[in-house]
A and B are shown apart, each in its own frame.
Chain A
Amino acid sequence: MNSFDILIVGGGHAGIEAAYLASQFNLKIGLITIPGIGLASAPCNPSVGGVGKGQVVREIDALGGAMGILADRAGIQFRTLNDSKGYAVQSSRVQIDKELYSQEAEKLISSISNITVIREKIFSIQKNDLFEVSGINKYFSKKIILTVGTFLNGKLHTGSKQVNGGRVDCDVSPGLSDLLDKVRVRPQRFKTGTPPRLNKSSIDYSKLEEQPSDSSVRNFHCLNKPFTRYASQVSCYLAHTNKTTMDIIRENKEKSPMFNGQITGVGARYCPSIEDKAFRYPDKNTHHVFIEPEGLNLDTVYPSGISSSLPEDIQLSYVQSISGLESAQIEQFGYAVEYDVVDTTELKQTLEHGQLGGLYFAGQVNGTSGYEEAAGQGLVAGINAALSVLGREAFILSRHESYIGVMIEDLVSNTRDEPYRLFTARSENRLHIREDNSLVRMWAYRTKLGLNTKIDKFLDTFISRFQVLCEFCDKTMVPEDSPLVEEFSGVGDLQKLSKRMSVSELLRQAWLDPVKTLEHVLIFYGLEIDHDLSRVVAITKKYEGYIKRSESQVEKLKKMDSMKINWKEISSSPNVSFECRQRIVRVMPETFGQLKLIEGIRPATLAVVAAKAL
């Protein structure tokens, strides 16, 4: 009874996703989590989604994952980011009630009969024929997925105070690191930080800019009604730092563990602490601070943008220097966590360890930041562990079709200098990897899993309708004198069509909004089509030409990328900068493509290599 097909260690966002997916294959799943913390807790920002990340949540959802379901249930403020910048880069983000989110996760997981949740601290994992996990009891399993977040040698810093642990009030299990003796850990530790939490009622909201929830943002879970909200909606507020705020931080440089040498771990450039901002941009004093509620019934708000590990008195004084936060009370001080991360170049694209078969890693332990990144990896590890138990072929998402694919290829093909955050610029195929078409992109992948659930049936229907509507757009011709044209007066500038064209061509016209245009067309032809469907078809047609062009460029690049290179020679070349040489020696790239993927490689280096390595 203590024996499982798959054991997952860690009940965070990666862990529950792995468990939820693996359970769909009717295997026996165990989910081990630290006692006292609910599943899928949100120790940092209380939100799900964001630029690039919203796409990941929808990919997870289309593949049958949990994150979209939970986010909808616990969503208290919805927003579309990049609303005015074109459909391809629009992303949804939802503020979550973090208590509710965790409760929903508990409910979802406990409703699944083949998942056993084990709340125990474990101190050793060994591998014989089966993996043997020891806590209070002993557990056996064919596969192990480690989703231990920041708990590998975690250390917390607030000013000069240092505590061992992966997050506040949770000590670290030293045994967890011992079991990984055989796993190569990156020599450079990573660091992440979180801001102080403020008392909700101590803030003067009249001085802040209100950001209400947007009722037009589609829910994440595809089976949910698009715009039904499950929790009460609240607002976020925008505050700004000022010169006084930044001066307080600059004057206390020697007290910041990040700048006085106490913390040696590297944080994400893309997620800077307020100290980073103060010292990296000495001329800039105005930075955004989003005041985000942590829950409907919680007294705290999360001030996004001012994470810090400064001593407590200094945190209080810089917070109170911000307009609207003059009397703000800190409920919990900000801190930084330093932790070990696995060398992900040792992992396969299934996230299985290359040398230690049957052992999978997912989430922050792989050096990523963000709940969405963690969940995406959890999903991939969960599916692959299950397929491997069943002796089936591995499940690999292409980087040209998903952000999860982009992330995993980036992770396994090179070591990182800093926590990995997903954003749209990491993809070469941004016009295709969008939120609106996540169902279309993921359908074939989900189908390959061979599961016949509600979501599979929904996807099959959706895709066949998608194909029919695409064909309708390609084949239906709009004559230049069509009364239809009159209909567009409310859409863009009224213009006569220059010629007879298909609906697809019409949707590509720069002066028309494709989504509204297709709606008009459908009304004109008396067709009643679901909004989600007409939207994805309209946007797909809009970008079709661009996507084809970039596909041919991708092909060319692929050819170039497969070129073999001699990294030893490059790393001893005087034409290559010292910094680049160091990076090259670490990664030992064998092809031009791998070289290109190394972070921080200068274009000049690429040019030198490309020009010479024929």
Chain B
Amino acid sequence: MNFLYSDDVIIACSTSLNGNAAIGVIRISGFKSLSDFKDFFTLKLSGPIEPRKVYFTNLVLQGQKIDEVCLTFFQAPHSYNGENVLELSVHGNTLNIERILALFLNTGLCRMAGPGEFTYRAVKNRKLSLSQVEGLDLLLNATSGFALDQGLSLLNGSLFELYKDLYHLFLLHKASLELMIDFSDDVGEEAARTSFDTTLSNFSTKFKTLLKRVRPISYDLLEPEIVLIGLPNSGKSSLFNYLLSEDRAIVSPLAGTTRDYISESLVIEGVKFKLIDTAGIRKSKDLIEEEGISRSKERIAKSFFKILLINPLELGPELKDLIHLNPDLILFTHQDLPGFDSSKANLVALYPELGSIGAVSLIEFSTSFESHIESQVISKFRELVSDKPLLLSRHKQLILKADGQLSSYLCHASQETDVAILSHELNSLGHCFSELLGIVSPEDVLNSIFSNFCIGK
């Protein structure tokens, strides 16, 4: 990422270029003087352009009017990223935005910004901390209110505060260990030991509350997946289309990489889910298809919510595998066909676990039925997020690593009499927190964070 080290003037569109809108916002950042751009605007002012005031003006090139725009100048250091920033609100037709961008780029006054480059400069100019950047990333890419909240809490630093509190408790414990080594003559052996035990227990108790927020969740809470599984002809596609309402499903079904599933976005109570229709799972002699099926199984295992559809009249030996995937909801389809009731009864007798999951018979697709599924999905999601699980994998990994270090430390603390070694072990735990707080090697973290960013931010 060589852009990280240049201080060119950069330009980008900060709003979406994926469709026409009323307004598009273009940002130019890092210029020395506003006068570089004065020829582009027809402003007639008695004085200079004042920072943080909105001006309405024509945007012109060689006397020819290009657009009518609103211009705002943010003067360094009082801007989002600490540099001089010019923000233009232009008409939001993508053609118009692209034409204006090209116009500025052709003058050679600026170059196109790289992904996240505006924000990178904000970090460089100490306008944002690393945690805040991670929060911003989350906020901008959130697919649920929950993720939005967490992004905001990182951006305003409240999660950081929690880490700091924990780090403080950690340091108190570390201090008590040092007390035991360097000052036990002054404070007395027993008092030193008591303080060691108390501070360790305070720290580990608090740490456990944080650990709850990173309990291992194998699925992606940023974009939770609802997956429909079942043998061919069990009615998955019908349910898929029904949940999405048919027309949407037909408009743009996204093919999976191996063409073994299709997926679409489904919004339930403001939370965006990914609804996936897997390819029918059946035994196959075709190697390529086998591969596809095994991938589907992997995918299913990682999904947030699994709906198994069963047509009791068309069973196959693979059904057993499907039931063992632990579906969250089981639906019996084709209830209108003759023989449904007896076949279903046979099946439940064969697989008693079907009853305990609370399988539901699907009579027909109806509004009440849809809301039954949706309420199950959303209540599972709500329950999961009630502990405010951490979304950022960097944080999760560090906290899990700290947990491992803590367990090993606790084990040492109960056996080891060599306090110097104990203190050495404790340092490894401290490193995890230093990383969480960003004290250690932030450059390692930077690349991964900025590679997620969209251009114009």
Contact = CB atoms under 8 A, between A and B. Distances in A.
Contacts of B131: 611
Interface of A: 51-52, 81-82, 84-89, 270, 286, 288, 290, 305, 423-425, 430-431, 510, 543, 546, 549-550, 553, 556-557, 559-560, 569, 603-604, 606-608, 610-614
Interface residues of B, number: 39
Given A603-B167, A611-B130, 7 more contacts: A81-B185, A431-B420, A603-B171, A610-B439, A611-B437, A611-B438, A614-B124
A423 B182 CA distance: 6
A308 to B, nearest CB: 16
Query: In terms of DSSP, what is the predominant structure of the interface of chain A?
Result: helix
B168 to A, nearest CB: 7
Contacts of B446: 614
Given A270-B183, A607-B164, A611-B131, A86 B439 contact: no
Interface of B: 123-124, 126, 128-131, 160, 164, 167-168, 171, 178, 180-186, 188, 416-421, 423-424, 427, 431, 437-443, 446
26 contacts: A51-B181, A51-B183, A51-B185, A82-B419, A85-B180, A85-B181, A88-B420, A88-B421, A89-B181, A423-B178, A423-B183, A425-B181, A430-B420, A430-B423, A546-B424, A553-B431, A569-B126, A603-B167, A603-B439, A608-B129, A610-B442, A611-B442, A612-B123, A612-B128, A612-B130, A614-B446
Contacts of A51: 181-183, 185
Which of A84, A89, A612: most chain B Cβ within 10 A? Answer: A612
A564 B427 CA distance: 25
A545 B105 CA distance: 57
A614 B180 CA distance: 37
Contacts of A559: 441
A86 B417 contact: yes
Contacts of A614: 123-124, 442-443, 446
B440 A305 contact: no
A86 B442 contact: no
Contacts of B427: 550, 553
Given A82-B181, A603-B437, A288 B188 contact: yes
A124 B20 CA distance: 86
A92 to B, nearest CB: 13
Contacts of B188: 286, 288
Contacts of B418: 85-88
Contacts of A431: 420-421, 424
A543 B420 CA distance: 10
A289 to B, nearest CB: 11
Nearest to A570: B126
Contacts of A430: 420, 423
Contact of A606 (B416, B419, B439): B439
Output the residue of B171, B423, B427 with the most chain A CB within 10 A: B423
Nearest to A81: B185
Given A85-B418, A607-B439, A613 B185 contact: no
A86 B439 CA distance: 30
Contacts of A424: 178, 181-182
A550 B131 CA distance: 27
B420 A603 contact: no
Contacts of B417: 84-86
A81 B185 CA distance: 8
Contacts of A603: 164, 167-168, 171, 437, 439
A606 B419 CA distance: 27
Contacts of B167: 603-604, 607
Contacts of B431: 553
Contacts of A549: 424
Nearest to A613: B126
Nearest to B133: A611
B440 A86 contact: no
A559 B431 CA distance: 15
